[in-house]
Every structure is written in C-alpha cells, then in structure tokens.
C-alpha cells in the first residue's frame, strides 16, 4: 500500500512515476492524441451523453493505442513501471508464475503448494485503476488497452481473499468504492458505464452489494451529481430499492454513513445523496433491514445533528419515529438509538422527542429508558440529556427493568465517558439514587470509584456528598468504595506499565483480562440481559 500512500504534498510513488510524465509536455501530447476519444466517452452531464460515440471509432482508437504503446519506448517504459507499482500495491507477484519450480526442488523446497492461491489470482489493471485514486490518463490507458476487463468479474483476485471465494465485483463496483471523487472519479464511473452498463445490476458475493450500495456509503463520494452517484442510479434505477444480504437498501447504507451525518450548509437537495434517493424511491424509507432497522433508525444511530437529509427520511415515512427495531437491536425506538449515541447533538434529540414525546417514557428490550441510555453513553448534560429529562422527569428515579436495576446515576457513575457535569446534575436532581444499591449491593459511589473517576472532575465528590454514609458500606463482595478506588488505581498503573513494556509481553499476558475488567464488563452485560 506504500505505493499509493501520499505525502503531505499529495505525492505518491505511483504519481512520481506516472503523473510527472502525464503532466509533462511530451506526455500530454502523446496521451491526448491516444486517449481523446476515451475522454469524450466519459464527458457530458447526463447518463446518456457518453453513448453518442460510434462503437467502431472506439474500436479503432483501442487498436491504435495498443499499436502506439508498442512503438513508443518512453510510453511503454512508463506504463510498465506504473503497472509494476500497481501490482505491488495489490500484493501481486511482480512476475507471472510461468517458471517451473525445478530450482526450488533442487534445494529441497517445492513452492507450488504454498503459492497456489497467488498463482490463481488474475491481474486486471482496469480493476486496479478503477479501485484507486490515480491520474485520469492512467485509468484511460488501462481502459483503452483492456476494455474486456470491464465485463469480467473479480474472483477474489484484486485483494487476494484467502478463502478463494469470488467477490463477483466488476470494475464498476471497485470504482463505486474507490476514494477517487469529483470530476476524475465521476469520469471513471461514466467510462465504465459506457463500456458495460449492465454492471450496475450485478450484486457482489461479499454482501450482495450493487454498485449503488457501495457508492451510497462511500465517505469520499458524497455528492449525487459530481461524484457519479446519479450516473450509477440512472443506469439501474431499481437499485434504489434493492436489498443487500443484510436487507439494507442504498438509503440504509447512506443513512449509516457518518459523513452524511455532519450537517453541511453547502449541501443542497440537488447534491444530497440521501434526499435524491428518497425522491427517487420514497417507499425505501419504510423498508426495514434484517435487524428491523428503518433508515430513520440508522440516522438516529449515526448522525450528529438533524438536517435536511434527516427531515427528508422522516417526512417520507412518519411512522418510523414510533417503530421499534428487531430484538437483536434491543427493540429500540429512534430516540433510544439517539440517546445511546455519544455523537448525537441536542437538535437531533429534540426533533425525535418532538415527533414522538411518549418515546422517552418507553423502555427498550433490556428495560432501559432513553435517559438510562444517554447516561450510559456518557453524554454531557447539555448535549441532549437535559432534553430527554425534561420530556420525562420520572426517568431519573426509575431503575432499569432488568436484574441489574441501575438508576441513571448508576449508569453515569459506571460509564467511562461520563464527566462531572452529568454526574453532578444527576446527583443534584435525585440525591436519593446515591443511597440506592443495585442487585450486587453496589452504590453509585462504588461504581464511580471502580471506574477510576476523579474526586471533583470525575463527579465522585457530588455522589459522596449526596450520601456520605455509603463510604463505609461494603458491596456484596465485601469491598468498600475505598477498596474499589484502590483497585482501579492499581489496574491503571498496571495497564500503564504493560503499555510501556508491550514488546516484552507474551501473547498470554496481552490477552489476559484483569479482574476489574471482568467485574465491570459482567455488570454492564447484566443490564443487557
């Protein structure tokens, strides 16, 4: 992968070899004369524009390119070097395994068996240049020399899957998932669609993804128009409602993309992938995946703020805000998922509460209210917890409905992410929770000490002052809060020591779980039963 790694100036080993030549006077002149027809093939603003070229003209241009490559020593040298670097980037042998293994056998080593997987891999330079961000002329030359590869499916070749299974991905799949974006990225997609538009209908064997699934979740390709998403959609419009093996549509995949979860004032309806998918197929907002998640659930789970994308998904299927996920996702409403997300901002929580105010009073499959989940995630009071509390104040004293029986204060005290602002507010609003034991006989003070929280900055002082007598109360194992704090300090010191001596640690030591880790993990898991 070092071949493709860019330095701070955006220069990679591959670009040193190819881009410098392609950007020079001689390279520009040579490549333009050879590739001008293929540049025209990917030009235009609509999906139909790139089909105007005469197929015979393209065939002749392909033949001319192959002949020119054989005649131009400099072009051939640059192409061979670039091809060699690409092979190295994808961990292909730098030479084909055509030689026999006689020399190895003479030295007592027969490599035929251990290289079986490598020898099965087929090198397709068009797939490779489609999968990466590279100079547009490098892709176009690969397209001119090997147009047949646009119709070939990958058999685990490009990335060398060890299980020898076929990915069934085409060059279009690789382009949809590639980091190339903007004008050059879209040109690759349009060129491949001009060659083989049927590729937009091909589902891969990895998870049943169509190219539209892959490009919808691509964090680099976020614009419907400029990144080629519309081109892939127009090539096969039914893909918008197609499900992958997890039952997810492209709208699910886009809604789960954290990049789409950052509200952007520059993103308009024209460029929004989510809004365009909803406009194209409004019914997809009501399609649950195999785990019972609707696109709105994905938004609640992954978005930071509420924006036009989220509003479009909600407007397309209003009942989604009152719909629970399947049991494997704890039968949660969107408000549960937003409460559990440490990234969800107040505006997202406010919108969900406004649309379904009764949701904050409903528990999930584990007996947890949204307030419990918000405190468990360690949200600060002003990042949505106050909104949930104001909508249903009894939740602050209501224990979760499971064998653990924690209150919101227990949740925050045991959360490694909860800060003093949250804990102080919970202790102020419901001081009686500090003297409420859970099923293990542990109080919030025990848990705050067990998780190594600081006296003031960690909120331990507020819990102590709400119930000072708990400082001398033992839990079910005979531990005082002081013992818990000492144990946490020992574990922190031990972890620091192990980190500094990591190179000398044995595998068994590295995999060993401390008694504190086990206790905390077991207690948290009890709340999920």
In 3D space, the residue among 312, 281, 309, 378 whose CA is nearest the CA of residue 339 turns out to be 378
Which residues pair with residue 272 across a beta bridge? 223
Contact 449, 485 (CB under 8 A): yes
Contact 125, 86 (CB under 8 A): yes
Distance CA 172, CA 178 (A): 10
pLDDT reading at 149 higher than 90? yes
Contact 511, 505 (CB under 8 A): no
pLDDT reading at 497 higher than 90? no
Mean pLDDT over 393-407 rounds to 96
Q: Cα 35–39–43 angle (5° rounding)?
A: 170
Strand stretches in 368-450, DSSP E: none
Q: Is residue 85 part of a domain?
A: yes
CB contact set of 334 (below 8 Å; sequence gap of 6+) = 296, 297, 299, 300, 320, 321, 323, 352, 356, 359
Distance CA 285, CA 315 (A): 9
293 three-class SS: coil
Contact 191, 139 (CB under 8 A): yes
Q: Cα 92–96–98 angle (5° rounding)?
A: 145
Contact 78, 21 (CB under 8 A): yes
* Domain region containing 214: 1-93+120-218
Strand stretches in 213-310, DSSP E: none
Question: Running DSSP on this structure, what letter comes out for residue 252?
Answer: H
372 to 189, 366, 385: CA distances (angstroms): 46, 11, 10
**Ramachandran angles phi, psi of 223, nearest 5°:** -115, 125
The structure's pTM equals 0.88
Q: Is residue 323 part of a domain?
A: no
What is the per-residue pLDDT for 94?
A: 80
Distance CA 285, CA 252 (A): 8
Alpha helices in 267-419 (DSSP H): 273-280, 295-302, 308-316, 334-340, 346-355, 370-377, 386-391, 408-414
493 vs 208, which has greater pLDDT?
A: 208
262 three-class SS: coil
Question: Running DSSP on this structure, what letter comes out for residue 512?
Answer: P
Q: Is residue 195 part of a domain?
A: yes
How many domains would you assign to the chain? 1
Mean pLDDT over 285-308 rounds to 98
What is the per-residue pLDDT for 492?
A: 72
pLDDT reading at 413 higher than 50? yes
pLDDT reading at 222 higher than 80? yes
Asked which of 44-58, 162-176, 215-229, 230-244 is least confident by mean pLDDT, the reply is 44-58
Name the band, by pLDDT with cuts 50, 70 and 90, for residue 30: very high
Exposed (0-12), middle (13-18) or buried (19+): which is 127, by Cβ within 10 Å?
A: buried
Q: Is residue 34 part of a domain?
A: yes
Q: Is residue 419 part of a domain?
A: no
**Percent of the chain beyond pLDDT 90?**
77
Neighbours of 21 (CB within 10 A): 23
**Percent of the chain beyond pLDDT 70?**
83
267 vs 226, which has greater pLDDT?
A: 226
- pLDDT of 352-382, one tens digit each? 999 999 999 999 999 999 999 999 999 999 9
Name the band, by pLDDT with cuts 50, 70 and 90, for residue 120: confident
Name the band, by pLDDT with cuts 50, 70 and 90, for residue 439: confident
Contact 462, 427 (CB under 8 A): yes
**Ramachandran angles phi, psi of 467, nearest 5°:** -155, 75
Angle of helix 308-316 relative to helix 346-355, nearest 10 degrees? 20
Q: Is residue 44 part of a domain?
A: yes
What is the per-residue pLDDT for 119?
A: 63
pLDDT reading at 338 higher than 50? yes
Q: Is residue 115 part of a domain?
A: no
263 vs 137, which has greater pLDDT?
A: 137
| Torsion sign (Cα): 367, 369, 374, 376 | negative
Name the band, by pLDDT with cuts 50, 70 and 90, for residue 270: confident
| Torsion sign (Cα): 158, 161, 164, 167 | negative
N residues, the chain: 529
- Within its chain, how far is the Cα of 184 from the centroid? 23
Distance CA 50, CA 42 (A): 6
Q: Is residue 523 part of a domain?
A: no
Neighbours of 492 (CB within 10 A): 12
**Ramachandran angles phi, psi of 272, nearest 5°:** -70, 125
| Torsion sign (Cα): 286, 377, 421, 464 | positive
Contact 179, 132 (CB under 8 A): yes
């Amino acid at each position: 992968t070092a071949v493709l790694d860019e330095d701070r100036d955006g220069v990679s080993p591959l670009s040193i070899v190819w881009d410098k030549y392609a950007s020079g006077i001689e390279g520009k002149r040579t490549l333009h004369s050879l590739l001008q027809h293929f540049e025209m093939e990917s030009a235009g603003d609509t999906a139909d524009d790139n089909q105007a070229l005469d197929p015979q003209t393209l065939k002749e241009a392909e033949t001319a390119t192959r002949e020119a490559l054989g005649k131009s020593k400099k072009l051939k040298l640059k192409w061979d070097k670039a091809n060699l670097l690409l092979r190295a980037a994808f961990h292909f042998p730098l030479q084909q395994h055509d030689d026999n293994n006689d020399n190895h056998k003479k030295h007592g080593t027969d490599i035929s068996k251990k290289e079986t997987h490598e020898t099965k891999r087929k090198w397709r330079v068009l797939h490779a240049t489609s999968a990466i961000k590279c100079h547009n002329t490098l892709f176009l030359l690969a397209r001119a020399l090997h147009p047949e590869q646009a119709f070939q499916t990958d058999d685990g070749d490009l990335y060398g899957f060890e299980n020898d299974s076929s990915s069934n991905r085409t060059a279009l799949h690789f382009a949809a998932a590639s980091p190339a974006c903007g004008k050059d990225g879209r040109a690759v997609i349009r060129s491949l669609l001009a060659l083989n538009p049927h590729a937009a209908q091909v589902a891969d064997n990895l998870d049943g993804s169509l190219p539209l699934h892959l490009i919808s979740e691509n964090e680099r390709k976020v614009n419907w128009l400029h990144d080629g998403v519309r081109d892939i959609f127009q090539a096969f419009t039914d893909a918008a409602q197609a499900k992958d093996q997890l039952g997810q549509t492209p709208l699910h995949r886009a809604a789960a993309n954290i990049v789409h979860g950052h509200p952007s004032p520059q993103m308009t309806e024209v460029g929004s992938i989510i809004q365009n998918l909803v406009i194209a197929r409004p019914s997809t907002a009501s399609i649950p995946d195999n785990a019972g998640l609707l696109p709105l659930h994905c938004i609640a789970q992954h978005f930071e703020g509420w924006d036009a994308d989220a509003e479009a998904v909600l407007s397309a299927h209003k009942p989604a805000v009152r719909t629970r996920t399947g049991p494997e996702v704890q039968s949660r409403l969107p408000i549960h998922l937003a409460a559990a997300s440490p990234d969800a901002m107040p505006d997202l929580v406010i919108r969900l509460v406004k649309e379904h105010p009764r949701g904050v009073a409903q528990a999930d499959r584990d007996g947890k209210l949204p307030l419990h989940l918000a405190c468990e995630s360690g949200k600060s009071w002003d990042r949505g917890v106050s909104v949930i509390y104001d909508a249903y104040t009894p939740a602050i004293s209501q224990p979760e409905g499971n064998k653990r029986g924690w209150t919101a204060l227990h949740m925050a005290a045991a959360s490694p992410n909860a800060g003093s602002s949250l804990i102080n507010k919970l202790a102020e609003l419901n001081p009686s929770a500090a003297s409420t034991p859970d099923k293990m006989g542990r109080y919030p003070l025990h848990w705050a000490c067990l998780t190594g929280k600081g006296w003031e900055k960690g909120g331990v002082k507020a819990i102590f002052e709400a119930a000072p007598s708990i400082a001398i109360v033992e839990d079910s194992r005979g531990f005082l809060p002081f013992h818990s704090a000492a144990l946490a300090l020992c574990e922190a010191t031990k972890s620091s020591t192990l980190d500094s001596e990591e190179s000398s640690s044995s595998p068994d030591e590295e995999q060993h779980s401390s008694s504190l880790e086990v206790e905390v993990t077991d207690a948290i898991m009890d709340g999920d039963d």
